[in-house]
Every structure is written in C-alpha cells, then in structure tokens.
C-alpha cells in the first residue's frame, strides 16, 4: 500500500497481530513504514494513525538518511566519489594487479586473483585520493601562502585529516566520499594548522577567509563522522 507524507511517496506495510491491543509504528531500514496492528482496527483507522504521526516519520527518515553509510556493497554497487555516485562493475581473477577504468559515472575494476571487492576499492580510493590531494593541497597552499613537507593518505578511524608538527599533512582516503567543497574545507583546515597549531580564534578566522561557508561545511562534515568506520575491514 502506498501513502504520501509531504513530498515523499512511501510504502506502508501492515502486520496483523492477534495479541496486540494497540498500534505500533516503525520506519524500516529500507524506508518503508510498518504498522503492527490488532485485527480490531480498520484500515482507515490505521491510515489516520500514520498521518497523525507524519512529523515523527519525517524526522525518522531524515535521521535515517543522515546515518546511512555512504556505500553498502551488500545491497548496491554504487559508491561515492566527490559528490557523484559511481556504478561499479568488477571482474575477479586473471590479473596480477588491480586495473581500473573510469568512464563517466561507471567504474570498471579488474581485480587480482584472491582479492575481494572491498580491498580493491580501498586500493583504488587510495590511488585517487593521492592524485586529488596532491593537486588540491598544492592549489590551496599557494592561495594561502603556506608550505608543507609531505602528504600522506591514511585509513584513520576517527579523523578526516591531521597536521603534524613537522609539516606532514595526513588525510583519510574517505575524503573522496565528501562533496568537493567539503573536501576542500578539510584541506584548508589542515593547512591552516601550518600557521596556527591550535583551534584559536585566529585559526578559525583564517579558515573562514578561504571557506566563507566554514560553519555550514564543518557541521555537514561532523554529521558524516560515522562514515569513517565504513570500509574498515
């Protein structure tokens, strides 16, 4: 059964339970709405119940959207890449090392014998992150008049990036899962530490100078913190 809540078209699933005396509402992981109900309730009563709780449903759907991992290889072969969604086509076996080809929004992978898709994607992301970061860090360093010693691509569990006292900039390969403006914010943030090795008012003013929407970008990135735990194995 379909129903409309706001601009959303949702599927409603009714589960009849003999022992229930009331109604119970859930938003399932796939976005469907489920109501467990006693057979004593009519369909009209159930629909009225759902519509009375539409704001709660909308909040749950938004929360679910924010907490959804950026890629779920069990259910989809689409992966995030700088604000785009790439469709992955993988061929296993027959290769000594990973080969790939990107055509539009389609990524073709030829995976070596014994390797898994997850491992191949991590290797591909690392290669792409290295190229992206070398280009964008050089751009922002020149614009900000700052220097750095080296760039390292890492697999951190709790950080998008960091800057060492020696001028080494470390970035999580998952930076490629962010939209371009958010990825640039991470780069500007770490470069700013080359002038201010703290989070002082002067530090944030410098970040704001080169990323005028710094507060909004920072908030959006913080909401994606759980992404850092994805594709860890």
Domain ranges of the chain: 2-67, 117-229
pLDDT value at position 113?
Answer: 83
Q: Which CATH number does the domain 117-229 belong to among 3.40.30.10, 2.60.40.1120, 3.20.20.150, 3.30.2010.10? A: 3.30.2010.10
Determine what percent of the chain is predicted with pLDDT higher than 70: 97
Give the pLDDT confidence of 160-171 residue by residue, as tens digits: 999 999 999 999
Does residue 109 surpass a pLDDT of 90?
yes
Mean pLDDT of the chain: 91
Residue 75 has pLDDT above 70, yes or no: no
Q: Which two tokens stand for residue 83?
A: 């604000």
Gap between the Cα atoms of 95 and 124, Å rounded: 15
Q: Which residues of 1-10 are buried (b: 16+ CB within 10 A; e: fewer)?
A: eeeebeeeeb
Neighbouring C-beta atoms of residue 166, cutoff 10 Å: 8
Between residues 205 and 62, the one the model is more confident about:
205
Per-residue model confidence (pLDDT) at position 53 = 93
Q: Which helix (H) or strand (E) holds 109?
A: strand 106-111
């Amino acid at each position: 059964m379909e129903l409309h809540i706001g601009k959303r078209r949702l599927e409603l699933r009714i589960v009849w339970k003999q022992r229930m005396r009331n109604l119970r509402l859930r938003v399932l992981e796939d976005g469907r709405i489920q109501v467990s109900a006693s057979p004593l309730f009519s369909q009209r009563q159930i629909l009225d119940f759902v519509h009375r709780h539409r704001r709660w449903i909308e909040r749950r759907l938004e929360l679910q959207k924010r907490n959804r991992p950026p890629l779920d290889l069990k259910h989809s072969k689409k992966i995030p890449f700088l604000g785009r969604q790439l469709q992955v086509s993988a061929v296993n076996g027959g290769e000594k090392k990973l080969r790939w080809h990107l055509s539009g929004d389609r990524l073709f992978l030829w995976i070596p014998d014994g390797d898994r898709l997850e491992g191949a994607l991590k290797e591909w992301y690392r290669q792409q992150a290295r190229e992206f970061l070398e280009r964008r860090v050089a751009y922002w360093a020149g614009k900000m008049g700052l220097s750095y010693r080296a760039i390292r691509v890492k697999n951190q569990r709790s950080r998008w990036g960091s800057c060492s006292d020696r001028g080494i900039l470390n970035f999580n390969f998952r930076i490629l899962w962010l939209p371009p403006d958010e990825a640039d914010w991470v780069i500007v943030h770490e470069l700013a530490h080359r002038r201010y090795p703290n989070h002082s008012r002067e530090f944030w003013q410098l970040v704001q100078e080169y990323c005028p929407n710094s507060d909004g970008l920072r908030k959006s990135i913080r909401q994606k913190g759980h992404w850092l735990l994805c594709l860890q194995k």
